[in-house]
Structure 1
């Protein structure tokens, strides 16, 4: 599949009959749904969207033009990564990604909420550095400390258990991007291996999970995208190396 991001004027590719996820290759929220689809071994198509120059038809699947959006039947879609992932986990239960214990499910959701501060700090550091405050760095490291503590309390390889689950796939896309921050000069956001030994072990384990490994991008690649975004011309297609792809639609005729 081409890594090309479709934009204004591009034609919607024909529906193949599979689940279809509209995403952006560098979006952590879209990656959440990609990882869940991968973990459940589902067949699906990916269509990447240029979020600066959105194709007109994306609004038929996502009212605000945001990603991810999941087309589950021709012309019918749901949006928001958590809504999509809860739907997928209930619709395709063979590979369950949530605990059977209602309390643990609630605890996982609460932990995701408490980690939101670290995610916001990342976005500020990466895409709005002028607004960066010392409190942002503190919030970021507090999130990392809480995650490390939670891993130690649970005593398992992953937060979900011996295998990763919804909570891990929800957190991972941000952890993957956190490693890019020192490469763009935000050294105060570095994940020190001495201080965060348990967390680094967890991250190394996640990188080797098949669902993650097939979609993983290096810190260097994320840093290049962040830098291109900062110059006012986000390079959405930096990974597209295919000259011809069956998924690439023709331009509308003038």
Structure 2
């Protein structure tokens, strides 16, 4: 699959009859929906877009031009990862990703909401470090402590249970990116393997989940993209190999 990001002036690819997700390869919110699609083993197409030079047609699927957006029928789409992922879980109920207990579903939503301050701190540290305050570092670590405590209280391998669920796929894309912060010189954001032993065990387990392995990126790659974005020239196509031509060498004439 080509990971080239389409931009202003590029034509909308023809609809292929499958679910189609509009995304940006390095967007954690788009990754949430990719993980759910993968976990559900659904067939889908992905269209990556350049968020700085957006193709005109993205507004037909997402009013604000944000990603992800899911085209579930030709010309009909949903936007916002939370809306998309609940829709996918309800539309395709095999292997449900939400808890059957309404109280646990509510607790999962509250956990995601409380974790948001750590996400906000990450964005500041990664893309606006001059605005970073000590309170943000504290909020970041409170988020990590929150997850570790929740894992301990639940006593399960994943937040959802013995297998990952929607709550895990919602939080994971940020944990994946958190590991890039020390590589960017933000040592205060390191996830200490001793202090956060249970959380690290959870993260290691998430990296082995098929839905994550099929799409996740290493910290070094997130570092490189973050640096490019912080410089003002985000390298959206750094992973695209579609233009590389692999030809067998010609045999020499005898």
**Structure 1 residue 244, shift from structure 2 partner:** 7.3
Q: Does 1:100 align with 2:87?
A: no
Q: Does 1:158 align with 2:158?
A: yes
Q: Does 1:119 align with 2:154?
A: no
Cα deviation per residue 1:46-85 (whole Å; 9 max; x = unaligned)? Answer: 0001000000000000000000000000010000000000
Q: Does 1:63 align with 2:37?
A: no
Greater relative contact order (Cα < 8 A, sep 6+): 1
**Structure 1 residue 95, shift from structure 2 partner:** 1.6
Secondary structure class of the residue paired with 1:96: coil
Residue 83 of structure 1 is matched in structure 2 by 83
Unmatched segments (≥5 aa) in structure 2: 246-254
Give TM-score, length-normalised by structure 2: 0.95
**Structure 1 residue 21, shift from structure 2 partner:** 0.1
**Structure 1 residue 140, shift from structure 2 partner:** 0.1
**Are residues 244 and 69 of structure 1, via their aligned partners in 2, closer, same or farther at CA, if it must alter by over 3 Å?**
farther
Could you say what the CA RMSD is over the residues aligned between the two structures, in angstroms? Answer: 0.9
C-alpha distance in 1 between matches for 2:96 and 2:244: 37
Give TM-score, length-normalised by structure 1: 0.95
C-alpha distance in 1 between matches for 2:62 and 2:36: 19
C-alpha distance in 2 between matches for 1:138 and 1:123: 14
Q: Which runs of 4+ in 1 moved over 4 A?
A: none
C-alpha distance in 2 between matches for 1:2 and 1:96: 30
Cα deviation per residue 1:94-116 (whole Å; 9 max; x = unaligned)? Answer: 12000110000000000000000
C-alpha distance in 2 between matches for 1:164 and 1:60: 33
C-alpha distance in 1 between matches for 2:84 and 2:28: 14
C-alpha distance in 2 between matches for 1:96 and 1:236: 33
Cα deviation per residue 1:9-46 (whole Å; 9 max; x = unaligned)? Answer: 00000000000000000000000000000000000000
**Structure 1 residue 130, shift from structure 2 partner:** 1.1
Unmatched segments (≥5 aa) in structure 1: 246-254
Matched residues, number: 245
| Bigger Cα Rg | 2
